[in-house]
Amino acid sequence: MLETFKRWFSSKPLASSLQGIEYWAKSRGATHRRVRDDEGFVVDGVHKGQAWRIEWGHPQRPYIQGPELRIIAEMGLHRDLQVLIVNRALMDASETTVFEQYIEGVQTRIETQIPTEIRWLVMYPKLAPADLQALGTRFGAVSSVKPWLMQWLAGPLSPALLSAARRIAEADPFVMTVGRGRLTMRLPMREPNLDEIAEWLSLFQLALAEAARVAGEWQDSAFSPSSTRPSAWPLDARASGQTNP
């Protein structure tokens, strides 16, 4: 069925392409609605009991030029758990900018112009090359709770991320975050492409499953993110009083 939709989709202008997305969503039991003037769409679905949302339209982040694909799921993870996986090119460029502004003390500019997840690059511990292994050729990662991040990447998510990276240029921004209890993935997508959307959704659903696995393992841990005990969190996060903005 996907191949049928893909052939139909690729031969039509944007309005028809959006209609193809609507048919695809309904075929999965998901709900679909278009943004005003057909400038985007929202698809809400459920996979193995976990609700997710796909959004395509105007970008919400300055590091993405042109239309943006966003996939979001509310997971109920600890709200102080903050995780960032980012493509290497965006990480290197953003880290330099944020660090220079922190050094210069331009706090207002940092808070108003730099997205929250990009600030994490200079706030939280990074995974070293030895931690990332092959994943480090395309991605960097930081977290307020580094062991949680390492467990998340220890399973099938790392090879899946590397495989997905082949679908985008090295310079194209790719960001996956855990923050405020939700999982979010962002990347540029100039025009909605059904085949690509389905593939990115599959990656996102794997990330969801792996996040749920790690959260379950931490429930029985002395360092459980569900605990409010200070010992669960890094010293730098406790000292700064950092919370999700």
- Confirm whether 222 is domain-assigned: yes
Q: How many residues does the chain have?
A: 245
Judged against a pLDDT cut of 90, whether residue 126 lies above it is answered with yes
pTM: 0.81
> Using alpha carbons only, what angle is made at residue 176 by residues 222 and 184, rounded to the nearest 5 degrees?
90
Tell me the sheet residues that pair with 82: none
- Confirm whether 245 is domain-assigned: no
Judged against a pLDDT cut of 70, whether residue 132 lies above it is answered with yes
How confident is the model at residue 13, as a pLDDT?
52
Judged against a pLDDT cut of 80, whether residue 239 lies above it is answered with no
- Confirm whether 176 is domain-assigned: yes
Number of domains making up the chain? 1
Judged against a pLDDT cut of 70, whether residue 1 lies above it is answered with no
Judged against a pLDDT cut of 70, whether residue 12 lies above it is answered with no
- Confirm whether 114 is domain-assigned: yes
**Mean pLDDT (whole number) for 192-196:** 92
**Contact between residue 77 and residue 211 where contact means Cβ atoms under 8 Å apart:** yes
Judged against a pLDDT cut of 80, whether residue 233 lies above it is answered with no
117: containing domain: 2-240
**Contact between residue 70 and residue 43 where contact means Cβ atoms under 8 Å apart:** no
More confident residue, 86 or 107: 86
More confident residue, 16 or 183: 183
- Confirm whether 139 is domain-assigned: yes
- Confirm whether 140 is domain-assigned: yes
**Mean pLDDT (whole number) for 17-38:** 85
What is the band of 38 on the pLDDT scale with cuts at 50, 70, 90? low
- Confirm whether 62 is domain-assigned: yes
What is the band of 97 on the pLDDT scale with cuts at 50, 70, 90? confident
Distances (CA, A) of 220 to 80, 153, 213: 18, 19, 12
